[in-house]
Structure 1
Amino acid sequence: MNPFRFNCVTHGYGGYGSGFNKLRNPNDVFVDSIGNIFISDYGNRRIQKWNVNSTGQGITTVGGDSNFDPQGIFVTQQGDIYVSESHIIDSSSRIVKYSSSLNSLTKFAAFSTTDLGMVTGIVLDQCDNVYVADYNKHQILKFNNNSYVGLTVAGITGKMGTNSSYHLNRPQDVTLDQYGNLYIADTSNRRIQRVIVQDGSGTTMMETIVETTQYVPKSIAFDSKWNLYISDSNNHRIQRYDFKGGDLYC
């Protein structure tokens, strides 16, 4: 007998569409601390929210217009929604913030093609600093709280690399552990990279924690128990790496 049992609830029914119960080419998903589900509904240019235990229609919380191209999504404990956007037509990128208290959408940061390539994954730390994966420029950028200046914290801007732990090659996602260390889906290098911030001085160290020749990691996330989940596109699977206790991530 299989000891694991799951109930599957699907959001988005009967193929793609623009109704509140449908999706079109969703890019990312985020589950908040109480179980509400937020989906980056790229094809419909919106962020859809399904309240916890809902099996019906979603609610459009952000977007729904022709100027919104959502990629990654992150929701804070206060309910503010951060979205990374990359526009295919003019190759521009930006980060937008939806304030739940003000019920308004503001441009957190905007970039020309000379500043940023294509932003995909996004995550915030406990101090509301923003980290984004820049797919085209092979880097992870950090924006300190309320700052519009991005700092490269992993990779070398505009330079892909395959033979060094300090290079990235088209990273698609980034997340943080409980100690503030970065985990990166270094997609075209077929590996997961970890960036350890050692002493707060800005010194970083990158190391490979997962790597195989047939590996194409595209998304990465921790659960509430700090088990690590990775979507492996090439092998059509989700992998879980269990946290066994101790100070594994420092």
Structure 2
Amino acid sequence: MKSEKGMAYITVLVIIMILSALAISYSYMSGIEAKISYNKKDSDQAYYIAEAGLRKGIWRLLHDPDFKTNYNNVLFTENFGAGSYEYKVTKATYNPSVFVTSTGKVGNTKRVVKTHTYIVTIKIVTIAGNGTAGDTVGSPLSSKLKKPQSVAVDSAGNVYIADTDNHRIKKLIWDSGSQTYTSLANFAGTGAAGDTGAGGAATSAKLDTPKGVAVDSSGNVYIADSNSDRIKKVDTSGIITFIAGTGASGNSGDNGPATSAKFNNPEGVAVTSSGEIYVADTSNNRVRKFTEGGNISLFAGVGNNGYSGDGGAAISAKIDDPNSVAVDSSGNVYISDSLNDRIRKVAIGTNIITTVAGTGTAGYSGDSGAATSAKINVPKGLALDPAGNFFIGDSANNRVRLVDGATGVISTYAGTGTAGYSGDNGAPASAQLRVPYGVAIDSLGNIYIADKDNHVIRKIVIQ
């Protein structure tokens, strides 16, 4: 009996020891797994941040042909999300290729991404209009436009044109298979000035001098129908609705339904991914904001033309003839303050307004320096890319200017400054434009220009 009790006691002790060892082992392994999970999270974040740096380096190569020479092997560092990235461009010795290297860092974790990039051709081409004012559709380069003032691009590559003096929106249809524009079609408006057709086919509705056009991520198209003093929307089935404005010119309705508000010559419209719609209420010297079916509110401008208010609340600032409005990926709003010869920015969250380009004196100067020290001349269209770089339709300078979002440095991207129509298939900065207004950018970085007084749409192609 004593022997059996002793064996049972020993067995129990052995089982307890095994269980204790297993518990310690499990606890240790759980700790290791937690560390692996944590480090994997940092590693994943660092990888995606490195990718962002890589894309920034490639973007700068694509948009500045001299970047690889002027900044060869120069290291750039920028904060991004929860960490930061460093990128540099290194020229190959015996061929036209370059290497873009980016390092993403989160805490003590680093990831390196490297790519071998062949520098592509950047050229300007005409994609719609034959250079003669008129109103025809069909073959894009044989068609006629009349003083187009705005342009927008959808996710499929189709281009929407505010064909202003023809009282239409036209659609340039992109075929991804052949990589060509197959035709130019009427999209909204009959060609006769008016303000009719809500709830019906957009092609049977009347528009009156549409000056702004935008497209959302779902393919709905928004129109700043300037002389109708309304914002109109064409859905993906081609039905037009009037979503803001009464049709009577005025300045009223803030904090009430957008459809009961009055505008005065709205020339620009922008829509965010969350459905917020911004309007450049041009002759009211204001920018207003609403959501479809909701209320409208004042976003910037006191209503009196002038220049004041930088560093303070946007609704207390003076702006003068705002023509275009654009929103960056963070929600900051940019305003083409056209008769102040400036670009203004309203920061998301604080609603503080500042000047980000232009001195306030009309002219042309400042390339390769700070945009706030440069002169621009009646800026019209605005377009922003995901990295925060923005393009300006510098209309009276017959140029498109580019401001680097990271450095704030301005440069000329297209146009010689001499009004004319030349340069297709060549370098954009060697081409002639004639009063460029609207500017748009697609997901590949191609730039679209409403070359207003040439009656054409130009495209800066990255190949």
Does the alignment pair 1:107 with 2:242? yes
1:59 Cα offset (Å): 1.2
What secondary structure, in the 3-state scheme, does the structure 2 residue paired with 1:197 have?
A: coil
Give, in whole Å, the separation in 2 of the partners of 1:36 and 1:197.
30
Higher strand share: 1
For residue 357 of structure 2, what is the aligned residue in structure 1? 210
Matched, 1:163 2:337: no
Of structures 1 and 2, the larger Rg is shown by 2
Considering Cα pairs closer than 8 Å and 6+ residues apart, tell me whether 1 or 2 has the greater RCO.
Answer: 2
CA distance in 2, matches of 1:100, 1:56: 20
Distance 1:179 1:225, change over 3 A: closer
Paired residues for 1:79-94 under 5 Å: 79-87=219-227, 92-94=228-230
CA distance in 2 between counterparts of 1:63 and 1:238 reads: 29
Is 1:26 matched up with 2:173?
Answer: no
Contact 1:127 1:145 in 2 (8 A): no
Residue of structure 1 equivalent to 2:395:
233
Structure 2: distance between partners of 1:86 and 1:55? 28
Q: Name the aligned partner's letter for residue 58 of structure 1.
A: L
1:62 aligns with 2:188: yes
Percent identity over paired residues: 30
Secondary structure of 2:397's aligned partner: coil
Alignment of 1:1-250 (within 5 A): 4-6=121-123, 8-20=125-137, 21-52=143-174, 53-66=179-192, 67=194, 68-69=207-208, 70-87=210-227, 92-101=228-237, 103-111=238-246, 112-114=248-250, 115-147=262-294, 149-157=295-303, 159-165=304-310, 166-198=317-349, 203-212=350-359, 213-214=361-362, 215=376, 216-244=378-406
Preserved contact between residue 9 and residue 55 of structure 1 (Cα < 8 Å): no
Q: Give the direction of change, closer, same or farther, for the CA distance of 1:181–1:224 in structure 2 (3 Å limit).
A: closer
Distance 1:31 1:183, change over 3 A: same
In structure 1, distance between residues paired with 2:180 and 2:132: 19
The structure where helix makes up a greater share of residues is: 2
1:62-110, Cα deviation, whole Å (9 max, x unpaired): 11242212110011121111101122xxxx4001111113x31111122
Distance 1:163 1:78, change over 3 A: closer
Taking structure 2 as the reference length, the TM-score comes to 0.48
In the alignment, the residues of structure 2 paired with residue 225 and residue 33 of structure 1 have an alpha-carbon distance, to the nearest angstrom, of 18
C-alpha separation between the residues in 1 aligned to 2:335 and 2:244?
A: 22
Alignment gaps of 5+ in structure 2: 1-64, 67-118, 138-142, 195-206, 251-261, 311-316, 363-375, 408-463
TM-score, with length taken from structure 1: 0.86
Q: Deviations over 1:104-125 (max 9, x none)?
A: 1111122322222110110011
1:145 shift after superposition = 3.3
In 2: Cα distance, 1:83 partner to 1:129 partner: 14
